[in-house]
Amino acid sequence: MRRVGFFGGTFDPVHLGHLVPAVRAYETFRFEAMVFIPGARPPHKLGEPLTPFSHRFAMLALATQPYDRFLVSAIESERKGPTYTVDTLRALRERLSVEQLYFLMGSDSFSQIGSWNRWQELVELAHLVVLHRDTVWGKALEARVPEVLLGRMRTIEPFRKVPDPEPGSRWIYLLEHEPFPISATHLRERLRAGLTIHELVPPEVHRYIVKHRLYHQGDERSDGI
């Protein structure tokens, strides 16, 4: 495939703040496919409770089902120990024969990229598509990323055609879409407090959460679900 977008995260749970920007990116960059990659054992969340991978994968599969070219990969569940984005992307590039690889990430994650494992390799492997999160953007974002990356950053408006990059170049595209002021952490807190999240997640995901009693107050997310 020529141009493919990859979107990694814990997706615990997947919500509209993930999906709507992903659709914006898919339509703006005209990807042949968009591959969601739920993390199995993210290094930055070791020791934190995570909903079992099978549930997070299932919720992503339900959320992406309406989109013909949205796929979900279980590749990170195949490896033992911490999983690193750069290794996952290299493996998927080979499996899918991808010519132009684009990695989607929220601006909150991009602001911390200097702490990522082998981030220098990551920015040479893939173009980055940074999604607008309301927590950090603009000058505040620029101040937090390694200075060497500033010259690669380009602001892109949704739905404007993005030309093929020059051979050998690796760009960082800041997608200027309307941010969604929600997070998975916030949704889990709402559920534990007995509040609804039905307007913040796809209906299929909401039904799945209710059916399996995920995130409910007093439940342990890491065991027995």
Residues 166-213 have pLDDT tens digits of 999 999 999 999 998 899 999 999 998 989 999 999 999 999 999 999
Tokens describing residue 107: 């601006």
Q: What is the pLDDT of residue 83?
A: 85
In a domain, 207, yes or no: yes
Note the pTM of the prediction, 2 decimals.
0.92
CB count within 10 Å of CB 163 equals 5
Q: What is the pLDDT of residue 82?
A: 82
Whether the CB-CB separation of 35 and 73 falls below 8 Å is answered with: yes
Q: What is the pLDDT of residue 223?
A: 33
Pairing of strands 172-175, 153-156: parallel
d(CA 153, CA 145): 11
In a domain, 156, yes or no: yes
Give the total number of structural domains in the chain.
1
Domain that holds residue 77: 3-212
In a domain, 223, yes or no: no
Q: Which residues of the chain have pLDDT under 50?
A: 217-225
In a domain, 144, yes or no: yes
Q: What is the pLDDT of residue 52?
A: 94
Q: What is the pLDDT of residue 81?
A: 77
- CATH at 85: 3.40.50.620
In a domain, 219, yes or no: no
d(CA 6, CA 100): 11
Nearest C-alpha neighbor of 178 from the set 163, 158, 198: 158
Q: φ and ψ at 119, to 5 degrees?
A: -60, -30
